[in-house]
Structures are given as C-alpha cells and as structure tokens.
C-alpha cells in the first residue's frame, strides 16, 4: 500500500506547529518577566535537538544598563556558562520578536540551527536582505528563520509601549 505523502507532510507540519507554539508559550513567560521589571517584554528559550529547554532569558537592557542584554544574547550567555560550548548546532531558539541584526549575527555565529520568532519588528528586526548577507558571508553556517504569528507577543508589546507613551494609565 502506497503512503499518502501529502497526509504525512501535513501531519509533520501540524506536529512542528504544536511544538513551536508550546515553546513560544515558554518564551512568552520570559517576556512577561521582562514586562514585570519594566523592561521591553521580549523573552527567549533555547531548545536542544531532543526538545529539552536548555536556557531561558528575557530582555534586561535597563537592569544591566547594557545594549548587549537582549533576550537572545542572554540565552546564549546562560547556555555557554552552563555548558562551556558555544556551538549550538541542532538547537532552536524561540524568541517573542524578530531578532535585530546584532542578535542575528550572534545566532549565526553560535550555529543555532533554527530561529522561530513570534512577531515581526519593522523598526529593529533584521530584514530578509540582511539575513541573506549573513548566509552569503558565512556559507557553511545555516540558521533558518521561521515566523510564527503569535498574537500574545504583539499584544504585550503594544501594551508596554502604550503605557510608556501615556504615563498615568
């Protein structure tokens, strides 16, 4: 009996989407922590090839007074401190917003295999052409980017910036 590959592919895609939502929910919990501390609410979770969360972090730029304290870089630093290995082949990073150019560069150089982001960022997110430039420069490094339309991230960011722009609300 011949297999129906269209159905198999649909099942695989559904499984991946369910996993992506599960881990994005965990990144969102990190974003809520950032929000609680009056940081831009961005969270990130790093997952290994076996589906185990190996690091979690949230944006801490105000707390650390450092432009390097983005959630993505915090995750990389936590993983490195615990595992003493900067090569992250086979991992997936879930982050609640599209990574900026600085973070994208760090993710490429760290060899993160896959990045799933919850919402786009027209102002700060790395563009497709910038991503293409990285893949042109680092031909042997492969980081795939995946957009997951995660409404909770968008709503939390809108709420945060609305409150910042309208004091007293």
Return the active site residues: 72
Q: Can you read off the two tokens belonging to residue 33?
A: 């922590």
For residues 76 and 48, what is the distance between their CA atoms, to the nearest angstrom? 13
Contacting residues for 104 by C-beta, under 8 A, at least 6 apart? 115, 126, 130, 131, 134, 143
Q: Residues 72, 95: contact at Cβ < 8 Å?
A: yes
- Alpha helices (H) along 96-137: 101-109, 128-137
């Amino acid at each position: 009996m011949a297999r129906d590959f269209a159905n198999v592919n649909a099942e695989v895609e559904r499984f991946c989407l369910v996993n992506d939502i599960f881990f994005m929910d965990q990144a969102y919990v990190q974003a809520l922590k950032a929000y609680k501390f009056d940081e831009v609410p961005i969270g990130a979770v790093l997952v290994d090839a076996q589906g185990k969360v190996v690091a979690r972090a949230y944006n801490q730029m105000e707390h650390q007074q450092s432009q390097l304290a983005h959630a993505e870089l915090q995750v990389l630093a936590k993983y490195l401190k615990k595992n003493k290995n900067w090569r992250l082949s086979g991992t997936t990073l879930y982050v609640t917003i599209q990574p900026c150019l600085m973070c994208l560069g760090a993710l490429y150089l760290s060899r993160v295999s896959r990045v799933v982001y919850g919402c786009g960022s027209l102002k700060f997110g790395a563009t497709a052409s910038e991503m293409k430039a990285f893949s042109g420069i680092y031909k042997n490094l492969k980081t795939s980017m995946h957009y997951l339309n995660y409404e909770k991230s968008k709503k939390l960011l809108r709420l945060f910036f609305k409150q910042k722009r309208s004091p007293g609300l």
